[in-house]
Amino acid sequence: MKNFAEDLDDDSLKDLFSPFGTIKSHIVMKEKQEDGTEKSRGFGFVDFENHEDAVKAIEALNGSQVPGSERLLTLARAMKKAERQAMLKAQYEKKKMERLLRYQGTNL
């Protein structure tokens, strides 16, 4: 999940997702500040015991707002870098072919 407010912590994340099922693990990614405090990086991970619970959470919370924030949440399945790059490449190639077909036969 990404695009949430900086004040969301691990406990708030668990409270947000616990209505959807049993959570095995959860974490808000943080970075150390120069003054020694930790600040949220705006993304985190939640691991459910059951896949169906994760799907319910994505359907319910994707595009919604966390109370106290005007940002819209983005939820998706965690992917490995190679898998994500392959998906983005396929999307790029699809758009490229659509543009090629759309402008085929025009001579401008």
CATH of the domain at 16: 3.30.70.330
Q: Above 90 in pLDDT, residue 2?
A: no
Of the two residues 95 and 63, the one the predictor is more confident about is: 95
The count of structural domains within the chain is 2
Q: Above 80 in pLDDT, residue 24?
A: yes
Same domain, 23 and 72: yes
Q: Above 70 in pLDDT, residue 8?
A: yes
**Confidence band for 1, pLDDT divided at 50, 70 and 90:** confident
In whole angstroms, what is the distance from residue 98 CA to residue 80 CA? 27
In whole angstroms, what is the distance from residue 76 CA to residue 23 CA? 16
> Which range has the worst mean pLDDT, 15-19, 45-49, 58-62, 102-106?
102-106
Structural domain containing residue 90: 79-108
Same domain, 36 and 6: yes
Same domain, 15 and 54: yes
